[in-house]
C-alpha cells in the first residue's frame, strides 16, 4: 500500500506576469485533481500561492519573512472542493519569489511527514520565473538553493518545475531570466528535480502527468557479443503507450433505492454437447479445436506444450551495420533502454566504450532478444548508441524492434506524369495541396517541434477522465 500513497504540494505563481496564463494553469491543476479523484483517492494535495498581496504561512509567523506567500490549502486528502478552488485562482499584485515558495513548501512537507512517510512526496512549481528574487541574509542565492536541495534529498522530496514562457508582456530583463534559470538548473543537478519549459497551452496541459510509473526491468542478464565476451546489462522500457483504463460492464437493473447495489455484470459461459444439448460439458472434458480445411482438429494443451517453441532467455549480437541502413520508419513498438548493470563498474566501462566506438564509426548493432525464459516470441532489433553529455549519467543504448520481411508493406504511388493532362492538377490546385502539406508539418523550419508527445495529452483520455469525474460527482 505504501507505493500507492502520494503527497503533492502545488506551488503556483499568481504574480502579474502570470495573469495571461492563469486560466490555463487553473485548467491544468483542476484536471490534475479530477484525475486523482479517479486514480488516487487516497492521495494528499496541498496548494501554495506566491505573488499574492496577502501573506499567510507558518514560516512567516515563526521566523518572519517569506512575504506574499499564501497557503491556499493545507495538505489533505483530495476532494471535490479543491477542484472548485483551483478553478478560481486569485490574481496577485506582487512579484513572485519562487524560492520563498519552495522553502515554505519543503517546510510543510517535512513538518507533516518527516522521514517516516513511506509514500512519494512531490512539489510541483508552476511559474514563468520572470520576477527577481530577494537576496538572502547570509551567503548567495546559489548557496541558498544548494542548502534547500540538500534538505530535499535528505527527506526524499522530489520536485518538478514547469516554467511557462508562452506570452511575455514586454521585454523581460534577460539578467533575471538567466539567473532564475540557473538557480532552477542547480535544483536539477543537486536534487531529484526536473525543469520543463513550455511555450503553449497544449504543452502546459500535458506538462504534469497524473500517474508517475516506476520503471521496471524487462531483462537482466548478459549482452552476448561472442561466446567469451559478455556485458551485464539491464533493460528498461523507455516509452510506452498510455492505455485506456479497463472498463467494466454496468447494469442499471438494480432499483435506484438500493444503496448497496454493485451494478456489476458477471458473464458465465456454458458448453453443451451436440448430441445432447441439455448436457453441460465440464471443463476437464473440453479440448480446443482448430479448423484445417473443412475439418476441426482437436489439440490438447499437453500436445501444445510438447511442440511449443521455447527459446533460452538471451540477448545476442548478430552483427553491426551502418546507421544509414536502418531507416526511421523501420522502428516498431516501444523503445527500450539498455544500461550497464548498476554498481558494476566493469560493465559501465564496457558499455561506454562500445557505445562511443559505434558513435564514432556511425554504426548500429543488430541483436536477437528473448526477454524471458520460455518466451515464444523472439524479437530482432537495433541498438543505437546514446552517448551522454553529463558526467553523472552513463552511456547507454536505445533499442528498437525491427520488422521481418512480412511486416514491411510498401505502396508505391504512381506518378502524376503518367495520367492524362485533364487529370493533372493546375497551378492553383497544386499550390493548395502544397500548402496543406506544409500546415501538417509538426516541425517547421526555424521553429520548435509542435505537439511533442511527452507534452501533449491524449484527447480521448482527457474526455474519458472528465466523464469519469462527473460520474464520481454523481456517486
Q: Give the per-residue pLDDT at 211.
A: 61
In tens, the pLDDT along 215-258 reads 889 999 999 999 999 999 999 998 777 777 777 888 888 887 88
Distance CA 12, CA 46 (A): 11
User: In this structure, which topology does domain 2-205 adopt according to CATH?
Assistant: Rossmann fold (3.40.50)
Question: Could you tell me where the DSSP H helices lie in 87-229?
Answer: 98-113, 141-154, 174-190, 201-205
Contact (Cβ atoms closer than 8 angstroms) between residue 25 and residue 12: yes
Q: Give the per-residue pLDDT at 411.
A: 80
Rounded alpha-carbon distances, angstroms, from residue 301 to 105, 180, 298, 372: 59, 65, 10, 21
Q: Give the per-residue pLDDT at 208.
A: 67
Residues of the chain with pLDDT under 70: 1-4, 166-172, 208-212, 468-475
Neighbours of 250 (CB within 10 A): 9
Contact (Cβ atoms closer than 8 angstroms) between residue 459 and residue 206: no
- The beta strand positions in 308-451, using DSSP E, are 314-322, 332-340, 363-370, 379-386, 396-401
Top-level class of domain 217-241+309-407: mainly beta
CA neighbor of 245 nearest in space, from 45, 467, 79: 467
Where does the chain hold its CATH 2.40.290.10 domain(s)? 217-241+309-407
Rounded alpha-carbon distances, angstroms, from residue 271 to 45, 280, 291, 294: 51, 6, 18, 22
Distance CA 18, CA 165 (A): 10
User: If you average pLDDT over every residue of the chain, what do you get?
Assistant: 86
Q: Indicate whether this model's pTM tops 0.85.
A: no
Where does the chain hold its CATH 3.40.50.410 domain(s)? 2-205
In tens, the pLDDT along 152-202 reads 998 989 999 999 886 555 555 788 888 999 999 999 888 888 888 888 777
Rounded alpha-carbon distances, angstroms, from residue 179 to 165, 184, 370: 15, 9, 49
Quick check: helix, strand or coil at residue 18? helix
Q: Give the per-residue pLDDT at 205.
A: 73
Q: Give the per-residue pLDDT at 441.
A: 86
Q: Give the per-residue pLDDT at 463.
A: 80
How big is the chain, counted in residues? 475
Q: If you ran DSSP here, which 8-state letter would residue 216 be given?
A: -
Q: Give the per-residue pLDDT at 473.
A: 56
Amino acid at each position: 500500500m505504501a507505493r500507492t500513497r502520494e503527497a503533492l504540494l502545488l506551488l503556483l505563481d499568481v504574480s502579474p506576469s502570470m495573469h495571461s496564463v492563469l486560466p490555463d494553469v487553473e485548467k491544468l491543476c483542476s484536471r490534475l485533481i479530477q484525475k486523482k479523484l479517479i486514480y488516487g483517492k487516497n492521495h494528499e494535495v496541498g496548494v501554495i500561492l506566491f505573488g499574492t498581496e496577502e501573506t499567510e504561512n507558518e514560516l512567516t509567523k515563526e521566523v518572519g519573512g517569506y512575504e506574499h506567500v499564501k497557503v491556499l490549502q493545507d495538505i489533505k486528502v483530495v476532494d471535490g472542493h479543491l477542484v472548485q478552488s483551483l478553478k478560481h485562482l486569485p490574481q496577485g499584485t506582487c512579484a513572485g519569489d519562487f524560492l520563498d515558495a519552495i522553502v515554505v513548501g519543503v517546510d510543510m512537507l517535512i513538518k507533516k511527514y518527516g522521514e517516516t512517510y513511506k509514500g512519494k512526496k512531490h512539489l510541483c512549481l508552476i511559474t514563468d520565473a520572470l520576477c527577481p528574487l530577494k537576496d538572502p541574509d547570509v551567503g548567495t542565492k546559489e548557496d541558498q538553493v544548494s542548502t534547500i536541495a540538500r534538505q530535499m534529498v535528505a527527506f526524499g522530496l522530489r520536485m518538478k518545475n514547469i516554467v511557462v514562457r508562452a506570452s511575455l508582456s514586454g521585454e523581460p530583463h534577460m539578467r533575471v531570466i538567466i539567473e532564475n534559470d540557473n538557480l532552477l538548473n542547480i535544483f536539477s543537478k543537486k536534487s531529484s528535480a526536473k525543469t520543463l519549459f513550455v511555450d503553449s497551452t497544449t504543452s502546459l496541459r500535458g506538462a504534469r502527468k497524473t500517474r508517475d510509473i516506476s520503471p521496471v526491468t524487462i531483462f537482466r542478464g548478459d549482452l552476448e557479443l561472442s561466446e567469451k565476451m559478455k556485458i551485464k546489462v539491464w533493460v528498461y522500457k523507455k516509452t510506452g503507450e498510455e492505455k485506456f483504463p479497463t472498463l467494466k460492464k454496468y447494469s442499471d437493473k438494480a432499483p435506484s433505492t438500493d444503496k448497496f447495489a454493485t451494478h456489476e455484470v458477471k458473464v458465465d459461459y456454458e458448453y453443451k454437447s451436440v448430441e445432447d444439448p441439455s448436457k453441460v460439458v465440464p471443463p476437464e472434458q473440453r479440448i480446443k479445436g482448430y479448423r484445417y480445411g473443412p475439418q476441426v482438429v482437436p489439440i490438447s494443451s499437453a500436445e501444445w506444450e510438447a511442440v511449443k517453441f521455447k527459446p533460452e532467455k538471451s540477448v545476442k549480437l548478430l552483427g553491426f551495420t551502418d546507421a544509414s541502413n536502418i531507416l526511421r520508419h523501420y522502428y516498431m513498438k516501444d523503445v527500450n533502454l539498455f544500461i550497464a548493470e548498476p554498481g558494476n563498474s566493469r560493465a559501465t566501462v564496457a558499455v561506454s566504450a562500445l557505445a562511443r566506438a559505434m558513435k564514432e564509426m556511425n554504426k548500429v548493432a543488430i541483436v536477437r532478444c528473448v526477454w524471458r525464459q520460455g518466451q515464444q516470441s523472439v524479437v530482432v532489433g537495433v541498438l543505437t548508441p546514446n552517448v551522454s553529455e553529463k558526467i553523472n549519467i552513463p552511456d547507454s543504448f536505445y533499442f528498437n524492434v525491427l520488422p521481418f520481411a512480412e511486416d514491411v508493406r510498401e505502396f508505391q504511388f504512381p506518378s502524376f506524369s503518367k495520367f492524362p493532362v485533364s487529370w493533372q492538377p493546375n497551378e492553383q490546385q497544386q499550390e493548395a495541396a502544397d500548402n496543406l502539406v506544409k500546415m501538417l508539418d509538426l516541425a517547421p523550419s526555424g521553429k520548435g517541434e509542435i505537439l511533442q508527445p511527452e507534452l501533449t495529452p491524449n484527447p480521448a483520455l482527457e474526455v474519458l477522465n472528465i466523464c469519469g469525474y462527473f460520474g464520481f460527482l454523481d456517486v
